[in-house]
């Protein structure tokens, strides 16, 4: 006992200076908030569409926390099977809650966002019901929709096949009409025709909207939609003639049972075909769709892509919030032993990585808002039978889908890496955001294909400028000082110039490869896809800058928003302009729009603004309004108490259920107990 | 029956053209190999250090396939606990095999590579034993090494703490010497002093090399190494005074039980301290290390970083092999219905993404070879007590560790994305390569810190050039045609120019921020870290190009290597030079080394070479020599039979164990059986 006390005294003396030089991360977090030049609460209200939304969200979180399915502890410790079941429980829980508490559909959507646990119902809500609404006859809607809304069946949307993704015309599954029995025969004629990827298809769904080549009277009319039951409703077993299952583990999103599906001469009634636009008569006569059908299906694609554009800033914002909060309280390296180490956010390479990501998040959020309002304007026009905006909207939503998801994916991963080791821990929340988000660059149209759809539109529009190869090169920048690059006119002129320059180059190449003609497909096109993608990216950059600028002009009209909030947004916009210019540096110089010394000024001004915004970094991410419940991140907590959170989360990981660990009994015990005289 | 036959006939007619337009991916794979202009077997022999190595590797694979622990089926379907146990089984299995079959240590290392299942023994082999070898006295080595080699204990290396990573001087764990009991008291005085991250520490290891601040007679001598037993050898329970456990799930590498560790006044004998260089006498007198001790510890760091440089090309090569093989047999989009779709590797954006990654893989492999031979040269010099190469080697290995792992990480992820949806499936092998590799950018020194270590060395070397800000800008390129950029002199002059230009800029800024002095630490340094990182990157680019070039010169001397193999390597080197120039485009233009028209020629020549190399893409990745057993990829199989492999792997996923799936009993049955009159 005496001995113990002596030892403790000895140690106590030895650690005094160590203890003195440590710092409480909670104090760092508070200090950061004191430094801000604006009220993050005020900006948050604007960014979240008003105070009511924030209050409502917090209320929903309080309700969710009381439900077993809403408990996020242990979230990062689930097996695939457990994650899948938890996802189903969450979806059903929200659905029941919505009915019990009389919540509206937007509240349910908000809760699904807050839960952040995708499962087997995603496509039931996101594509099965919308497809029936858009392509089903009134009678079909009356039959199916009540069953859908009551969850008496669960549907998915089965289009992609093992061998065929973005290229719809390549689909191989057939639906052959048999006039004798008045039924369609659904069949998978090849291995590659196996349906592959539909969410919820593996084990959850009882029904599917199936895209299959419609063949009747010996004629192949290409892909059409059919509503097909695939599982028995009482036993959940696949129906005879149906082989269905899960496609295996994925990089993320593992609560969702993405599935495969094969048919062996599987018979469905004639009215399984969704017949709002085209139909097959009893005798097998095909009734083609009216002209606007193709437009209608384009409109659905536009909608889906628009929502992806809308959500990109949301996911990037989550990652930015975690990374900024962590790097603001994480300290590393000190000039001398007894001084506290420095906040890593104070190193130039850290804040020059994260401040631009904050700026991109704002840009994406404003772009998403504008994209959705463009879509809603189109929907209104469509009611007047005015489809004139559709071609440009389709091109824009395609290109932006790619551009915004590329920005978000790369930004999320950069945030994760900036957190060093802790960003590699699932407990940070960052790996889950990345691995579940990054598929956005692939689904709903692979990003490169999306850029090319936009490029096709842009190049066609430019057909008049054919041959005018160096047109873009004449507009020289008149920038004289670094701050001149903050001028919106200087930014837009430069970005427009880059787009023109790249487009002219691509057109020149396309003509060159096609003996003077300007073709937008075939060999010449395929040999220019990299150049064409660059054209679309340049166009998107300008669109994003303009959207930010226009939305900010609207924000200024909002009476509740403080002038300090507006001022910080203006500064962020200026930084975003500089980011766009920096990313276009090579083209600006190569086309001689900017002289070397002008280009150096871009970098100078960029650095100046990043440094100046550093003090507001934490307040800026606070203003996105992500609650701790949503982020579920040990290192992204608002209060900064990251180390306690990490240790507690580690201590409760199931791997620590026994002191000896999972390897002791099966392997280590025998090994370590083996006599030393062994082999 | 009659009905059945009629239906089948109907369908049979309908699907004729669908079946005709599908293609067998195996034929595509064979066709690709026929196109090659060189023998991939011959190049593979060179790249793998001779035919014997390839034969030996295949023999080892055949042995491993017969062992339960060597069976890779089901690899992608394990829980964390299963993966951990499998990792232990594999490590023990290889160890026993090595003894039974009298294999040497290199064969064991090769088998560990081939198994590709990191587990709890990584640091026992990689750091525990090496630390005893380098820092233990002869007596300590005699005591501990036999126990290590016989696996009678399992060790790890515990340095990193919850609050302290790369900054070694910040460590907080203490070892206080108590002269009365002649023991050290190990203690964790703060939450942030908790050891965090050591591999195998969580549940596997019985011992650790512990880095702790040595305090004796009231003086803190900073971090020293101690060998500490943490678990009881018969029960595997933590010893009293020790809290140890797993830190929870990670983005990848989950077979490894990275752990945490805390001490509460834990007593260890005096000789727990590794005393080869410094020591503490019984009375508590500290005996400091001789001057070369610091050099010795630098040498260990150099070695570890050199091995990371060596392995970067290996991991990138695996990803490149999978992506090239997949995109060569994957077909998408066709100009008309009855023509086969195109191989996606034939689109410009696909081959311009993948061919450069092949080139980077070769560059990394040659760099790794040169790095290791530089290290071995140093080891030889050290035997003569010549440490003169150490400072430059330390700087070089630090910068290259960062540069090579950045190239590999980004390249792996680009390969994964280029495979679209299938790259998101774990069955492709790509997510596992990425998620287990990407931590290389963080461990053994965060990449940004590594670039800055190199930058400090580079800037110090340039102190004479202070004030000579625009020196680099005068050397103008004399390139006249695109092909001129293939000239090695043009490449190295340009890359050297970029390094000079960036270094001059950084020096100018450092001086500016420190009133004219050139300081390499403190506030000015921290405010310039982004610029300094760019200097190191530019330097590394030139180093890689030169290494490739020099290693290729050696390859030409090898009598067994065909002239076609050399010719293709020369072409790859030329492409790599163009890649380096392209990546430096902005600086080349901004510094006016290249005029706009000269810079356009870089891009032109880059495109030309990528296009020309396209036909050899599959043969080039074949020449890396990755066996199917290693890659374990459904889409990266050598034979091209990807769709059958995907379907089979999916069918055998445990999620498909029951037809109803894991969600039926706990959730879906009640939901779907509920009466329709519910809520």
State both tokens at A216: 């009747």
**Chain mean position to CA A259:** 21
Residues B247 and B262: their CA atoms lie apart, in Å, by 12
> Between A386 and B621, where is the model more confident?
B621
Show which of residues 132-151 on chain B sit within 8 Å of chain A, judged by CB atoms: 150-151
Residues B67 and B101: their CA atoms lie apart, in Å, by 14
If pLDDT is split at 50, 70 and 90, which confidence band does B321 have? very high
Order of all β-strands in the sheet with A242-246: A195-196, A259-263, A242-246
**Chain mean position to CA B376:** 21
Mean pLDDT of chain B: 94
- Whether residue A2 lies within 8 A of chain B, CB to CB, comes out as no
Contact list, A331 vs chain B (CB under 8 Å): 163
State both tokens at A506: 């691509």
Which residues, in sequence order, are CB contacts of A5 under 8 Å at separation 6+? none
Which residues, in sequence order, are CB contacts of A363 under 8 Å at separation 6+? A313, A544, A545, A547, A548, A576
Element (H, E) at B82: helix B80-100
Cα separations in angstroms, B40 against B32, B34, B59, B382, B619 = 12, 11, 20, 39, 5
Question: Closest-CA residue in chain B for A527?
Answer: B348
The pLDDT of residue B466: 54
Q: Does A84 sit within 8 Å of B11, measured CB to CB?
A: no
State both tokens at B634: 């459904």
- Name the minimum distance, in Å, from the CA of B599 to any CA of chain A: 7
- Proportion of chain A above pLDDT 70, given as a percent: 96
Question: Closest-CA residue in chain A for B204?
Answer: A663
pLDDT over 70 at A78, yes or no: yes
The pLDDT of residue B300: 82
Order of all β-strands in the sheet with B242-246: B195-196, B259-263, B242-246
Q: Does A151 sit within 8 Å of B530, measured CB to CB?
A: no
Which residues, in sequence order, are CB contacts of A355 under 8 Å at separation 6+? A575, A609, A610, A613, A614, A617
State both tokens at B495: 């890359």
pLDDT over 50 at A31, yes or no: yes
- Name the minimum distance, in Å, from the CA of A114 to any CA of chain B: 21
Contact list, B350 vs chain A (CB under 8 Å): 448, 529
Show which of residues 204-243 on chain B sit within 8 Å of chain A, judged by CB atoms: 204, 206, 213, 215, 218, 220, 233-238
pLDDT over 50 at B679, yes or no: no
Q: Does B265 sit within 8 Å of A190, measured CB to CB?
A: no
> Between A336 and B59, where is the model more confident?
B59
Show which of residues 328-357 on chain A sit within 8 Å of chain B, judged by CB atoms: 331-335, 337, 341-342, 346-350, 352
Which residues, in sequence order, are CB contacts of A232 under 8 Å at separation 6+? A238, A239
If pLDDT is split at 50, 70 and 90, which confidence band does B337 have? low
- Whether residue B66 lies within 8 A of chain A, CB to CB, comes out as no
Contact of B190 with A22, CB cutoff 8 Å: yes
Looking up tokens 């390549």 gives A170
- Name the minimum distance, in Å, from the CA of B33 to any CA of chain A: 22
If pLDDT is split at 50, 70 and 90, which confidence band does A473 have? low
Cα separations in angstroms, A1 against A546, B257, B403, B440 = 74, 36, 55, 47
Give the tens place of pLDDT for each residue, B151-163.
Answer: 999 999 999 999 9
The pLDDT of residue A165: 85
pLDDT over 80 at A85, yes or no: yes
Question: Which of A661, A665, A666, A669 is the best mutation test for B, with the most CBs of B within 10 A?
Answer: A661
Find, among A386, A592, A614, the residue nearest to A498 by Cα: A592
- Whether residue B426 lies within 8 A of chain A, CB to CB, comes out as yes
What are the backbone dihedrals phi and psi of residue B216, each rounded to the nearest 5 degrees, phi first? -145, 140
Over residues B395-417, mean pLDDT: 98
The pLDDT of residue A419: 97
Contact of B457 with B503, CB cutoff 8 Å: no
pLDDT over 70 at A467, yes or no: no
The pLDDT of residue B169: 86
Residues A456 and A390: their CA atoms lie apart, in Å, by 15
Residues B317 and B44: their CA atoms lie apart, in Å, by 13
ipTM of this complex = 0.97
Over residues B114-120, mean pLDDT: 97
Residues A441 and B159: their CA atoms lie apart, in Å, by 39
pLDDT over 90 at B335, yes or no: no
- Name the minimum distance, in Å, from the CA of B77 to any CA of chain A: 7
Contact of B396 with B301, CB cutoff 8 Å: no
Q: Is the dihedral of CA A564, A569, A573, A579 positive or negative?
A: positive
The pLDDT of residue B349: 97
Question: Closest-CA residue in chain A for B12?
Answer: A189
If pLDDT is split at 50, 70 and 90, which confidence band does B168 have? confident
Find, among A55, A236, A100, A108, the residue nearest to A627 by Cα: A55
Question: Closest-CA residue in chain A for B201?
Answer: A661
Residue among B79, B151, B178 whose CB faces A79 most closely: B79
Question: Closest-CA residue in chain B for A602?
Answer: B590
Residues A8 and A607: their CA atoms lie apart, in Å, by 50
Over residues B246-263, mean pLDDT: 98
What are the backbone dihedrals phi and psi of residue A559, each rounded to the nearest 5 degrees, phi first? -70, -30
Question: Which of A349, A473, A501 is the best mutation test for B, with the most CBs of B within 10 A?
Answer: A349
Give the tens place of pLDDT for each residue, B572-618.
Answer: 999 999 999 999 999 999 999 999 999 999 999 999 999 999 999 99
pLDDT over 70 at A304, yes or no: yes
3-class state of residue B443 by DSSP: coil
Residues B11 and B421: their CA atoms lie apart, in Å, by 30
- Whether residue A649 lies within 8 A of chain B, CB to CB, comes out as yes
Mean pLDDT of chain A: 94
The pLDDT of residue B317: 98
Contact of B267 with B185, CB cutoff 8 Å: yes
DSSP letter, residue A338: T
For the entire predicted model, the pTM comes to 0.97
DSSP structure string for A131-151: HHHHHS-HHHHHHHHHHHHTT
Find, among B408, B547, B566, the residue nearest to B46 by Cα: B566
Question: Closest-CA residue in chain A for B532?
Answer: A349
- Whether residue A88 lies within 8 A of chain B, CB to CB, comes out as yes
Q: Does B439 sit within 8 Å of A655, measured CB to CB?
A: no
If pLDDT is split at 50, 70 and 90, which confidence band does A339 have? confident
- Whether residue B639 lies within 8 A of chain A, CB to CB, comes out as no
- Name the minimum distance, in Å, from the CA of A48 to any CA of chain B: 31
The pLDDT of residue A468: 53
The pLDDT of residue A22: 86
- Name the minimum distance, in Å, from the CA of B664 to any CA of chain A: 8
Residues B158 and A194: their CA atoms lie apart, in Å, by 50
Query: B521-524: which pairs have CB atoms within 8 A and are 24 or more residues apart?
Result: B521/A335, B521/B456, B522/A335
Burial environment of residue A516 by CB neighbours within 10 A (0 to 12, 13 to 18, 19 or more): exposed
Q: Does B162 sit within 8 Å of A529, measured CB to CB?
A: no
Q: Does A167 sit within 8 Å of B341, measured CB to CB?
A: yes
DSSP letter, residue A641: -
Question: A310-314, B19-23, B609-613: which has the minimum mean pLDDT?
Answer: B19-23
> Between A335 and B360, where is the model more confident?
B360
The pLDDT of residue A679: 43
- Whether residue B154 lies within 8 A of chain A, CB to CB, comes out as yes
- Whether residue A74 lies within 8 A of chain B, CB to CB, comes out as no
State both tokens at B5: 């036959």
If pLDDT is split at 50, 70 and 90, which confidence band does A168 have? confident
3-class state of residue A227 by DSSP: strand
Contact of A495 with A581, CB cutoff 8 Å: yes
CB atoms within 10 A of CB A323: 33
Find, among A322, A426, A414, the residue nearest to B406 by Cα: A414
Residues B430 and A252: their CA atoms lie apart, in Å, by 13
pLDDT over 70 at A474, yes or no: no
Give the tens place of pLDDT for each residue, B530-569.
Answer: 999 999 999 999 999 999 999 999 999 999 999 999 999 9
- Whether residue A169 lies within 8 A of chain B, CB to CB, comes out as yes
Give the tens place of pLDDT for each residue, A175-210.
Answer: 999 999 999 999 999 999 999 999 999 999 999 999
Give the tens place of pLDDT for each residue, B487-533.
Answer: 999 999 999 999 999 999 999 999 999 998 888 889 999 999 999 99
Over residues A297-306, mean pLDDT: 88
3-class state of residue A156 by DSSP: strand
Cα separations in angstroms, B504 against A679, B300, B471, B497, B524 = 62, 32, 8, 10, 15
The pLDDT of residue B295: 74
What are the backbone dihedrals phi and psi of residue A321, each rounded to the nearest 5 degrees, phi first? -60, -45
pLDDT over 80 at B113, yes or no: yes
Find, among B154, B227, B140, B232, the residue nearest to B184 by Cα: B227
Looking up tokens 């495109």 gives B607
- Whether residue A102 lies within 8 A of chain B, CB to CB, comes out as no
């Amino acid at each position: 006992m005496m001995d113990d006390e002596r030892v403790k005294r000895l140690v106590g003396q030895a650690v005094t200076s160590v203890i003195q030089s440590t710092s409480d991360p909670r104090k760092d977090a508070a200090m950061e908030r004191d430094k801000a030049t604006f009220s993050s609460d005020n900006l948050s209200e604007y960014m979240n569409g008003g105070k009511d939304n924030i209050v409502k969200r917090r209320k929903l979180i309080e309700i969710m926390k009381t439900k077993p399915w809403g408990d996020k502890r242990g979230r990062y410790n689930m097996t695939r099977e457990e994650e899948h079941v938890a996802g189903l429980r969450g979806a059903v829980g929200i659905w029941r809650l919505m009915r019990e508490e009389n919540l509206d559909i937007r509240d349910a959507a908000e809760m699904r966002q807050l839960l952040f646990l995708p499962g087997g119902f995603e496509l039931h809500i996101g594509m099965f019901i919308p497809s029936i609404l858009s392509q089903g006859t009134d009678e079909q809607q009356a039959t199916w929709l009540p069953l859908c809304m009551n969850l008496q069946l669960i549907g998915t949307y089965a289009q992609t096949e093992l061998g065929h993704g973005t290229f719809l015309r390549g689909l191989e599954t057939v639906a052959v009409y048999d006039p004798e029995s008045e039924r369609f025969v659904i069949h998978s004629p090849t291995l590659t025709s196996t349906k592959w990827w539909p969410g919820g298809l593996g084990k959850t769904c009882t029904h599917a909207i199936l895209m299959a080549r419609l063949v009747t009277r010996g004629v192949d009319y290409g892909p059409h939609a059919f509503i097909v039951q695939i599982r028995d409703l009482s036993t959940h077993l696949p129906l005879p003639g149906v082989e269905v299952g899960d496609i295996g583990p994925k990089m993320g999103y593992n609560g969702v049972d993405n599935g495969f599906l094969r048919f062996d001469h599987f018979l469905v009634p004639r009215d399984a075909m969704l017949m709002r636009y085209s139909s097959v008569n009893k005798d097998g006569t095909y009734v083609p769709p009216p002209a606007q059908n193709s437009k209608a299906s384009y409109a659905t694609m536009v909608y889906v892509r628009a929502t992806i554009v809308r959500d990109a800033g949301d996911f990037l914002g989550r990652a930015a919030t975690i990374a900024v909060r962590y790097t603001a309280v994480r300290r590393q390296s000190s000039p001398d032993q007894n001084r506290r180490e420095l906040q890593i956010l104070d190193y130039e390479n850290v804040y020059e990585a994260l401040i631009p990501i904050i700026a991109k998040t704002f840009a994406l959020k404003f772009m998403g808002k504008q994209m959705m309002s463009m879509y809603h304007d189109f929907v209104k026009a469509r009611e007047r039978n005015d489809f004139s905006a559709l071609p440009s909207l389709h091109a824009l939503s395609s290109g932006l889908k790619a551009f915004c998801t590329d920005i978000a994916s790369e930004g999320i991963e950069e945030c994760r890496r900036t957190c060093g080791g802790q960003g590699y821990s699932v407990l940070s929340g960052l790996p889950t955001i990345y691995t579940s988000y990054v598929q956005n660059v692939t689904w709903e149209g692979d990003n490169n294909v999306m850029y090319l759809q936009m490029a096709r539109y842009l190049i066609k529009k430019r057909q008049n400028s054919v041959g005018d190869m160096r047109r873009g090169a004449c507009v020289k920048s008149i920038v004289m000082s670094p701050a001149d690059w903050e001028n919106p006119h200087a930014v837009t002129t430069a970005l427009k110039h880059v787009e023109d320059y790249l487009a002219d180059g691509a057109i020149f190449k396309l003509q060159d490869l096609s003996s003077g003609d300007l073709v937008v497909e075939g060999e010449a096109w395929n040999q220019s896809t990299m150049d064409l993608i660059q054209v679309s990216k340049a166009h998107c950059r300008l669109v994003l800058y303009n959207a930010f600028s226009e939305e900010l002009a609207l924000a200024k009209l909002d009476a509740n928003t403080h002038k300090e909030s507006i001022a910080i947004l203006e500064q962020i916009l200026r930084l975003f302009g500089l980011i766009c210019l920096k990313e276009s540096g090579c083209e600006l110089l190569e086309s001689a729009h900017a002289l070397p010394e002008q280009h150096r000024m871009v970098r100078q001004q960029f650095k100046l603004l990043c440094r100046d915004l550093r003090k507001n970094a934490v307040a800026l991410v606070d203003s996105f309004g992500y609650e701790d419940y949503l982020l579920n991140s040990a290192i992204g907590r608002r209060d900064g108490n990251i180390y306690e959170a990490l240790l507690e989360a580690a201590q409760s990981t199931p791997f620590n259920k026994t002191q000896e660990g999972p390897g002791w009994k099966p392997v280590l015990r025998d090994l370590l107990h083996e006599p030393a005289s062994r082999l």
